[in-house]
Structure 1
Amino acid sequence: MPRSTKKPAKLPLQEFIPYKLAVVANRLSQSIGSLFEKKYGIQIPEWRILMALHSCGPLAPNEVVDHTSMDKGRVSRAQRRLVELGLVSVSNDPRDGRRLVLFLTRKGAGMCAAIIPAARETEAWFLSVLPAGERRALDKALTRLLMRSQELRQTDSGN
C-alpha cells in the first residue's frame, strides 16, 4: 500500500492563541499571586473569592464557582482558609435558610480595600506596553471571548 505523501499538520504553540492566552494569564496570575502571598498571606484562589464577594455581595459556594471559574474543590479549600483567617463568614441565607452563603467580614472588606490598589497598579503596569486604543480593543476582545468561553462551558456540561 502506498504511503501517504501528506505531511502531518503542525501546530506551533507560539502561534496558537489559546496557548498564548493561557501563558499570559498564568504568568500574570503567578506574579500577582506571589505579591499577594507575601504582602497579604493569601493565594490566588482566596483572592478571587474575596474579589467575587466584594463585587457581588454574599454568594453561595456554587455561585462562587460560577463567578470565579474555579472548581468546587478549590473553592471549598480556599473558602475554609478564608474562614480560618477571619476574612469570610458562612451563614444561612436570610432569604432561604436552607442555603449557605459566604459573606465578607469587616476584616475581609478591609483586606479587599488594601488589595484593590495593588491589583490595579499591577494591571496598569502590565498594560502600559499597549497604547490606550489597543487597551480598549483588548478589553472589548476579551469581553467577547469571555462570552464565547461561557458557550464552551455550556456545551461541555451538555446544556
Structure 2
Amino acid sequence: MTDHLGYWMRMVSNHVSFAFARRLEGKEVTVAEWVMMRELQDAGPLAPNRLAGRMGMTRGAISKLADRLVAKALVTRDDDPADGRAHVLALSEAGSLLVPDLARLADENDEAAFACLTAEERAQLDRILRKIAGAHGLKSSPTG
C-alpha cells in the first residue's frame, strides 16, 4: 500500500486538512464554509447554482452551507436584481472582515505543513499538483 503515490497524497492531504480544520474551530467556521466564503470574495455575489458549479457541490449542499453562514451572519441571501424569483449569495460585512483573518490561518497552516520543503521544492510540488489537476480537468474547490 505504501508504494502508491495516492496513499502518500491522501496522508499529507488529510494532515493538512485536519490541521486547518482545527485552526478554524476557534473562528467557528468549517473548511467548507471557508471555501464558500473565499469563492464569494473572489467572485462577488453569486446565484447558488453558479456557486455550486464553482465549488463542485450539489445545489442542496450549497443551500445547507449557505443556511449555516447566513445564520452566522457571514453571508447574505438577497433577491437577484436580474430575476426576482431567484436569489444571490454574498459575503456580509462581517464575512468580508473575517476572510483576511481566515486567509492568514490558511497561510500559517500551509507554512507549518510544508516548512520541511525548500522554496524550490514547494514550487516544484505546486507545479506537479497543478499539472495533475489540469490533466484530470479538476476545477472545483476542495471543501474538505
Unaligned 5+ runs, structure 2? none
Q: What TM-score do the two structures reach when normalised by structure 1?
A: 0.77
Q: Give how far 1:19 is off.
A: 3.1
Q: 1:84 aligns with which of 67, 71, 74?
A: 71
* Higher-RCO chain (CA-CA 8 Å, sequence separation at least 6): 2
Aligned to 1:93: 80
Larger Rg: 1
Equivalent residue for 1:50, pick from 19, 26, 37 = 37
TM-score between the two structures when normalised by the length of structure 2 = 0.84
Relative to structure 1, the CA distance from residue 148 to residue 95 in structure 2 (aligned partners, 3 Å threshold; closer, same or farther) is: farther
Q: 1:124 to 1:149 in 2, by over 3 A?
A: same
- Aligned pair count reads 140
**Mean Cα deviation higher: 63-72 or 132-141:** 63-72
CA–CA separation in structure 2 for the residues paired with 1:136 and 1:32:
21
Structure with the higher strand share, 1 or 2 = 2
- TM superposition shift of 1:121: 1.2
Give the letter for the 1:80 counterpart.
D
Q: Kindly, what percent of the aligned residue pairs are identical?
A: 29
Mapping of residues 147-158 of structure 1, within 5 Å: 147-150=134-137
1:80: Cα distance to partner? 0.5
**Which AA in structure 2 matches 1:36?**
L
Structure 1 residue ranges without an equivalent (≥5) = 1-11, 154-159
Is contact 1:45-1:74 (8 Å) kept?
Answer: no
Opposite residue 123 of structure 1, the aligned amino acid is D
Q: Which runs of 4+ in 1 moved over 6 A?
A: none
Q: What is the deviation of 1:152?
A: 10
